[in-house]
Each structure stands twice: as C-alpha cells, then as structure tokens.
Structure 1
Amino acid sequence: MPAPGPLVIATQSVQRLVKEDGYYRKELAQQSERVEKLEAELKESTDGNASFVLKQEQKALEETKAVFAPLRKRIVEAVQRLEEQIAAAESEGAPPDEIKAAKDSLELGKGVEAPAT
C-alpha cells in the first residue's frame, strides 16, 4: 500500500485537530459543571476541604481554557495547508473522492470557533 499523499495527510490533520477541539469543549463543559456544583456546595458547607477542592477544579478549568488559543492557531494553520493541498490536487487531477473528503474537512476546520469563556 502506497504512503498517503500530501492531500490525505492534510485532510487527516484537520480532522484530528477538529476532533481534539471537540474533546476539549466537552471537558470544559464538564469542568464548568463541577465548579458550579462545588460552589453551590461550598455555600452550604463549612468543610475546609471543599474550598481546596473548588480551587483545584477552578485551576483545572483555567488550564483547559488555556488550551484553546494554541489549538485554534494550529487549526487555522492546518486549514491553510489543506486549502493549498486542495488547490494543488485539483490542478494535478487527484481522485475526486480525496478532494471531496478534503473539502468536507476544510468546512469542518473553518467551522471551529473559539469557545465562549
């Protein structure tokens, strides 16, 4: 089996980064829920450990938020490379199914937005 071409590699790169973005968004939502739950519990509790756990969860939440800026930059770069590979592949007469898959991935990559923080 021949090695995948540059178009396939660029397509898979965008798909992987979009999937990674989705995982981080899901993690961010879960951590936000945990922080809100802990804040509510802290108002009702006098447990000293609860405030420590809350601080740890808030720190984890901030660390997750910090992932999005560099990830977004990598997605933008991957989308640009994919656009270049699509243009090159179309001029070289690449298989239509590869070009279609690349264009679908391109739309996915362009659809990724910065998360609301």
Structure 2
Amino acid sequence: MGPPSQLAISTSVVNRLVKEERSYHKEMEHQQSSIAKLEHGGGDENAEFTLRQERTALEQTKAMFPEIRTKIQEALNKLEQQLEQDKGPGDQSTPEDITKAKEAIASALTAIRESS
C-alpha cells in the first residue's frame, strides 16, 4: 500500500481538529460540574482555593475555542480545495477517500455551526 493521498491527509487533519474541539467541550462541562459541586458542597478548608483553580481552568478552556474554530476553518478550506483539485483527471484519491473527505467536511461544518 502506498503513502496516503493529500486528500486523505487533509481529511485526517479535519477529523482530528473536530475531535479536539469535542474534547474541549467535554472538559468544559466537567469543569462546570466541578465548580457547581464546590459552590454547593462547601465545608472543605481547601474548597476556596480549589474553586479558584477550577474557575481558572474553565476560563483557559473557554479561551481555546476561538483558536480551535480558526484551525478547523482553515483545515476545512484546505480540504475543500484538495477535494476540488482531485476531481480532475489523474487524481490519486480513491472513492473511499472522497467519501471520507465529504464526511469530514460535514462534521466540521456541524462543529462550527454548534459552537457559534
């Protein structure tokens, strides 16, 4: 089996970034849950320090979203260009690569739409 096509590489980049964005959402939900527990749990002598740490971590996670959206958009544009280039004669992409690329584009567009 030969090396992956440029389309396959671009597709995997988009998929990785979308997955990374989802993980930031999960992390943010976990942090919000921890903050809520700490706010209502009280009692612990380290609770105030832990609460500040969790809030800081939450703000840092939220700060990642604009950057990851930009990366997704850039990778999406590159993938769409690659898909257009591969439509011509002599393309090296398999029909499977093209299908995966279209699925990655749909996934990225959904991620961008949901995070806006």
TM-score above 0.5, yes or no: yes
2:36 alignment partner in structure 1: 36
Q: Pairwise mapping of residues 95-110 of structure 1 onto structure 2 (< 5 A)?
A: 95-110=94-109
Give, in whole Å, the separation in 2 of the partners of 1:31 and 1:19. Answer: 18
The code of the aligned residue for 1:63 comes to: Q
Structure 1 gaps of 5+ residues are none
Q: Does 1:68 align with 2:65?
A: yes
Aligned-pair CA distance for 1:95: 2.0
Residue identity opposite 2:40 in structure 1 = A
- Give the C-alpha shift of residue 115 in structure 1: 4.0
Pairwise mapping of residues 15-94 of structure 1 onto structure 2 (< 5 A)? 15-42=15-42, 45=43, 47-92=44-89, 93=91, 94=93
For structure 2, the residue ranges without an aligned partner over 5 or more in a row are none
What CA distance in whole angstroms lies between the structure 1 residues aligned with 2:59 and 2:37?
A: 16
Distance 1:35 1:110 in 2: 31
Out of 79-88 and 106-115, give the one that drifted further.
106-115
Alignment: residue pair count: 113
Q: Could you tell me how far 1:9 is from its partner in structure 2?
A: 0.5
Q: Distance in 1 between matches of 2:115 and 2:98?
A: 29
Query: SS of 1:31's equivalent?
Result: helix
Q: Report if the CA contact (8 A) 1:75-1:109 is conserved.
A: yes
Assess if the C-alpha contact under 8 Å between 1:25 and 1:115 holds in 2: no
Amino acid in structure 1 at the alignment position of 2:87 = E
> For the residues of structure 2 that align with 1:22 and 1:66, how far apart are their CA atoms?
14
Between the two proteins, what is the percent identity of the paired residues?
Answer: 38
What are the superposed Cα offsets for residues 13-53 of structure 1, whole Å, 9 maximum, x if unpaired? 001001111111111110100001101123xx3x5421111
Worse-superposed segment, 87-96 or 8-17: 87-96
TM-score relative to the length of structure 1 = 0.88
